[in-house]
Structure 1
């Protein structure tokens, strides 16, 4: 008889874990507090417009496809993709730079800025790719079960080669001197919720991945990935209970034996927790001994990623003069912007990102109209020196729209709005149990990465596993998909099915 697994949460990692385990022959049930699959890879429908709620940029598409391939399915039947070129437009005041992953186009553009920076950029790609290979093979794709998995001569040599002790910003500055290029090569650390000013230099691999592997778009938007994982899981015979907020992980004799739902105990052989790790340790693991080092006090003292303020705007027109679906609008001083976010300040001149998915998929908006998704990184709730209320929302709305009106193609943006809604850090906390409203979970500082990050296998409780952005290897959809792979392999290893 197949062993039972309870999966808490139908977020990206929960769905991917469930698919992998169901494929491997387990009897898997997902318990999800909301009414739709996907977690933050959710969807908003308003007034005929459809928006991705959170993630929007597809990187490392092979990791997306792997979820379907390991189940013996053709990913093209589930997540049809197309590559974007240019990847995105970057705006600096009146200047627009279209960023391509086509090396010929890119070098041609960079030569117009500085031949010296072309040399620096190519050196960056070579050096960072070498570090990426080390990180991929020895850190990102493996768990750290015990102290000696990391602290041994071989692994410490690999860690030294990563040169993680510099900041992402400072590292980029060694390769290119043009300030605009520095910002184009460093802002991506915000994909995982950390500032390039103090984020470990290893995260300069993120822009390198864009240039080496491209950026892609999934038809229907990012939510197609979540919906397709849900579809595959159900096809494989899995079960999902929606509107099912888990009260507790049941722990008996240092073993997870199931969950409590509405006060009722539901037994299973294993528990896979995709709830945000800090939330889970505080609210679902109630046995104090089972918390181990992750006491309530420890959870509160940890560093959290930034959060996001997102506007979902339905527009009364098409934005044909805007060339790309991904657009980054930089403030005059990104460094100062980052300092303010991570010190809790209310931003007066935020950098932000504009995503227009309906440019590539017209079914996402009414005929002749576009939907604008606008995201500004902001402080998490524990850091912010201000409250999220109508006044704060109005402040950010005003700042963003006033700036956007100065960008070619968006001049009439405020007058074009016919539908609007927002997502704030308070909403991330309430809807997705994101601790402190931190969109990307625990901040991936050196002290909270690799062996020092919460691992897939519980260190104090048998038959309990964790997955998601606050666990190793970290945040960002491709990395979260990797966390699901690690967690399921850890479970199967303990069950004698692997290794």
Structure 2
């Protein structure tokens, strides 16, 4: 009789952990409070045939997406057919809206674009790429794929020598500024730490590997949008014999004598040999782990004192036409006062100078909008619900909506945008909190400041409770779809190691 594992939450990490464990011979059941798989990797459908990804939208490091299918002997192309996007994105600046820059992962094209922005920065740009690539190789082999279960896993001479090479005390902004003088170019590179919910002004420098990954390896699009990945993981899990219970609200992780024994869902006790929790770690340790000793150092007070990522305001607009003038799937609108914008986000202020992102998935897959029409997904980073010094109400939504549309009107093709909307909805920090139990409505979980990264971050194996594991963006190695998929791999390996004694080799491959 195979051992039973309950996975709480069918988000990306929950699905991926469940797939790995089911494939390894465990009997796995997922309990998900919503009616669909994917967590924040979900879909919003509006009348008339407009379909939008709810949250994540940019596919980087496609090999990590593919690996979950390959590890089960499947061909990823049968599940998540992908195409490479080039250019990766178009960048607009609010002070020169009619002079956008196309950013390519073709090195020749990219070099030309950088020359057009600032010729004197070209050699500095490639020095930045060289430096950050070396950091990436260290992170890829020694830090991202491995757990830090005990202090000695990090505090040993070989590991510390590698950690020092990451120069962790630089901020992203300082690091990029060392190589690049052009303000526009610096912004285009450093702002991308917002993908994981932290400002480049405070982010450790190694997170500037995010744009490097785009420049070197490209950005991809999954047919049907990101939600195809969630549906395909659900399909694979079921093909392997796993089962998912939707609409099931888990109230508690049942813990007795320092050991997880199952869950309480909708008032019913469900027993299991192991529990993997994909609910956001701060929420889970505060509300689902009710046994005080099992919380370990993560008391309620400690959870409240941690630093949380920013949140997002997302508009989903069904439009009555196609935007031929806007050629790209991904478009970034930079405000010239980006530093002020970043400070305001993390100071909880209502934004008056805001940068945002426009994703037009129907450019890559016309089936996501009615024939001859486009859907616009517009994401603006904002303060999380705990830091925000203003209320999220209809007035705030109207204010940000108006701000976004007014800025877009300055761009050729969007001049009449307000009159071209036929249907719309939105997601606010309060929705991230209520629908996805994102603590404080922080879309990306715990902020990856130095004191909350690597061995300082909550680990997969519960420190003070046996048979309990965590996965997701607030655990090591962090936020972002590829990184969350790595957290799922770590969680499944940790559980298998404890169950069977099998040792995993975390050294460089």
TM range (shorter): over 0.9
State yes or no: 1:300 paired with 2:304: yes
8 Å CA contact 2:340–2:353 kept in 1: the answer is no
User: 3-state SS of the aligned residue for 2:137?
Assistant: helix
Corresponding residue of 1:333 = 337
Consecutive unaligned residues of structure 1, counting only runs of 5 or more, are: none
Corresponding residue of 2:206 = 202
State yes or no: 1:100 paired with 2:104: yes
Q: In the TM superposition, what is the alpha-carbon distance from 1:21 to its structure 2 partner?
A: 0.5
1:112 paired residue among 84, 108, 116:
116
8 Å CA contact 2:313–2:427 kept in 1: the answer is yes
Q: How does 1:360-399 map to 2 (within 5 A)?
A: 360-399=364-403
CA separation in 2, counterparts of 1:440 and 1:414? 30
CA separation in 1, counterparts of 2:246 and 2:157? 47
Corresponding residue of 2:45 = 45
Q: How does 1:37-186 map to 2 (within 5 A)?
A: 37-47=37-47, 48-93=49-94, 94=97, 95-186=99-190
CA separation in 1, counterparts of 2:15 and 2:115? 45
| TM norm structure 2 | 0.97
Corresponding residue of 1:317 = 321
Q: In the TM superposition, what is the alpha-carbon distance from 1:111 to its structure 2 partner?
A: 2.1
8 Å CA contact 1:429–1:436 kept in 2: the answer is yes
Corresponding residue of 2:496 = 492
CA separation in 2, counterparts of 1:143 and 1:5? 20
Q: In the TM superposition, what is the alpha-carbon distance from 1:115 to its structure 2 partner?
A: 3.0
Corresponding residue of 1:286 = 290
State yes or no: 1:6 paired with 2:6: yes
Q: In the TM superposition, what is the alpha-carbon distance from 1:113 to its structure 2 partner?
A: 3.0
8 Å CA contact 2:133–2:212 kept in 1: the answer is yes
What CA deviation, in whole Å up to 9, does each residue of 1:228-254 have, x standing for no partner?
A: 000000000000000001010000111
CA separation in 2, counterparts of 1:19 and 1:443? 28
Corresponding residue of 2:258 = 254
State yes or no: 1:240 paired with 2:241: no
State yes or no: 1:272 paired with 2:276: yes
What CA deviation, in whole Å up to 9, does each residue of 1:343-373 have, x standing for no partner?
A: 0000012100000001111111111110000
8 Å CA contact 2:384–2:442 kept in 1: the answer is yes
Between 481-490 and 113-122, report the one with greater CA deviation: 113-122
CA separation in 2, counterparts of 1:359 and 1:137? 36
CA separation in 2, counterparts of 1:99 and 1:410? 21
Corresponding residue of 2:506 = none
Deviation beyond 3 Å, 4+ runs, structure 1: none
Q: In the TM superposition, what is the alpha-carbon distance from 1:497 to its structure 2 partner?
A: 5.5
CA separation in 2, counterparts of 1:226 and 1:128? 31
User: 3-state SS of the aligned residue for 1:98?
Assistant: strand
CA separation in 1, counterparts of 2:463 and 2:75? 37
CA separation in 1, counterparts of 2:186 and 2:397? 30
User: 3-state SS of the aligned residue for 1:308?
Assistant: strand
8 Å CA contact 2:335–2:355 kept in 1: the answer is yes
CA separation in 2, counterparts of 1:449 and 1:440? 13
Aligned pair count reads 499
User: 3-state SS of the aligned residue for 2:237?
Assistant: helix
8 Å CA contact 1:380–1:437 kept in 2: the answer is yes
What CA deviation, in whole Å up to 9, does each residue of 1:305-335 have, x standing for no partner?
A: 0000000000000011101010000012111
Q: How does 1:192-231 map to 2 (within 5 A)?
A: 192-231=196-235
2:478 paired residue among 468, 471, 474:
474
User: 3-state SS of the aligned residue for 2:117?
Assistant: coil
What CA deviation, in whole Å up to 9, does each residue of 1:100-154 have, x standing for no partner?
A: 0100111122223333211011111111000001111111110001011111122
8 Å CA contact 1:358–1:364 kept in 2: the answer is yes
Corresponding residue of 2:507 = none
| TM norm structure 1 | 0.99
CA separation in 2, counterparts of 1:261 and 1:341? 36
Between 173-182 and 26-35, report the one with greater CA deviation: 173-182
